Structure 1
Amino acid sequence: MSAPFVLLGLLGDGPKHGYDLKHAYDRTLPRAKPLGFGQVYATLGRLERDGFVAQAGQERAGGPDRTTFAITDAGRVELERWVGEVESPAPHVGAVLLAKVMVALMWPDSGRAVRYLAAQRAAHTARLRELTAVKTDPDAGVGDVIAADYAIAHLDADLVWLRTTLARVAELHRGEPQ
C-alpha cells in the first residue's frame, strides 16, 4: 500500500496535522480512492511507532487540539528507498474482469460470456469517454490529467483484451445452439 509513503512525501515540505494530510492526499491523487480520516490517523500512528514521523506540536484553531506531525530523518531515508524501488510487474493475473469471463465460460449457456464481454466493452468505452473529457477540461489540474492518462492506458489495454477475447469466444461458440 502506498498511502504511508504518500503521507511521508506530503510531510516532506513541512509538518502537518492529519486533517491537512487527508485533504492533501486527496488533491495529490485526485482520481484515486479518497483516504479516510481514520486511515490517516491509523497510518500516522504506525509511522510514528516505526520512527518515520514524530509529533511536532499541538495546534488549536477554534476546535479540538490537533497534533502536528513531521517526517524524521529515518522517514526520509525510508521514503527515498521506496521511491527508488522499481515496482515488479504482478506475477499473477487477478482481475475481477478475468474471473467473471472465466466463470461465464463455464456455464452451459454458451452466449453468456459473449453477452458479458460485449456489455463490459460498452462500459469500458463509456468510462474512456468520461476520462477523455477530463483531459480536455480547462479546469483540470495536472494531477487530474496524469491520473486520467494512467486510467486511459489501462482501459485501452482492457479494451484490446476484451475485443480479442470476444472474437475468440464468439469463434468457439459459432454453430452452437443459443
Structure 2
Amino acid sequence: MSTRHILLGLLAGGPSHGYDLKRRHDDHFPQARPLAYGQVYTTLQRLVRDGLAEVAGTDADGGPERTLYRLTAAGSREVGDWSGQVTAPAPFVTNEIFAKVVVAILTGGDPAAHLRAQRAAHLARMRELTALKTAPDASLATVLAADYALHHLDADLRWMTTTQDRLTSLTALTAEVDRA
C-alpha cells in the first residue's frame, strides 16, 4: 500500500494537518497497520519536496505550531493517475500457511493437524470480522475492509480444503521424490 498516494488522496478532501491525516488514515483504513506520526510527517515532507503538496500555513491554536498541508495540481494528477491504474495480480503468492504446510510435509510433520488448527483460527477471525461489519455503528470503511479480509480468509479456507484433500497424494509424492 502506498502511504504517499493515500496521503495525497486524503489531502484531496482539503487542507489538513499531519495529525488529522494520520487520524483519517486510521479511520478510513481500519484493518491496515496504523501509520506512525513520524511516517506521516516524513511522507508529507517528501510530497512538498516533490511538488505534490505544499504548506498552506501554520497555526498554533494555543498549542504547539501545526503545519497545514494542501494538495497541488501536480499532486491531484498524481493521485488520480495512481488510483486509476490497475494493480497487477501477484505473479506468485507466498503465504506463511502455505510454507508451513510444505515444511510439515517435507519434515514428516503433521500438515493435517496444522490445517485443522489454522482453519479454526480463520473461522474465529471470520466471526470477529462479521461482528465488526454488522455492528450498528460500523463505518463504510470498516465494512469494506472487513469484506475484503473475509474474502481473503475464505480463499485461504478453500485452499486448505483442497490441500487437506490432497495430503495423502502430496505426502506420497514427496516421499518418492526424496527416495529418488
The two structures share one fold, judged by TM-score above 0.5: yes
Secondary structure, counterpart of 1:120 in structure 2? helix
Does residue 141 of the first structure (1) align with residue 139 of the second (2)?
yes
Contact (CA 8 Å) 2:105, 2:171: kept in 1 or not? Answer: no
Could you tell me which of 141, 152, 155 is aligned with 2:153? 155
Contact (CA 8 Å) 1:10, 1:21: kept in 2 or not? Answer: yes
Secondary structure, counterpart of 2:61 in structure 1? coil
Per the alignment, residue 128 of structure 1 pairs with 126
| Separation in 1, partners of 2:146, 2:31 | 7
Where does structure 1 differ by over 3 angstroms across 4 or more consecutive aligned residues? Answer: 170-174
Per the alignment, residue 50 of structure 2 pairs with 50
Unaligned runs of 5+ in 2: 176-180
Does residue 20 of the first structure (1) align with residue 45 of the second (2)?
no
Per the alignment, residue 117 of structure 2 pairs with 119
Compute the TM-score of the two structures, normalised by the length of structure 2: 0.90
Compute the TM-score of the two structures, normalised by the length of structure 1: 0.91
What is the aligned residue count?
173
Give the aligned residue type for 2:144: I
Shift of 1:101: 1.5
- CA RMSD, 1 decimal: 1.6
Contact (CA 8 Å) 2:58, 2:67: kept in 1 or not? Answer: yes
| Separation in 1, partners of 2:168, 2:65 | 63
Unaligned runs of 5+ in 1: none
Per the alignment, residue 178 of structure 2 pairs with none
| Separation in 2, partners of 1:139, 1:170 | 47
Shift of 1:160: 0.2
Secondary structure, counterpart of 1:168 in structure 2? helix
Secondary structure, counterpart of 1:55 in structure 2? strand
Per the alignment, residue 82 of structure 1 pairs with 82
Shift of 1:127: 0.5
Contact (CA 8 Å) 1:114, 1:170: kept in 2 or not? Answer: no
Shift of 1:61: 2.1
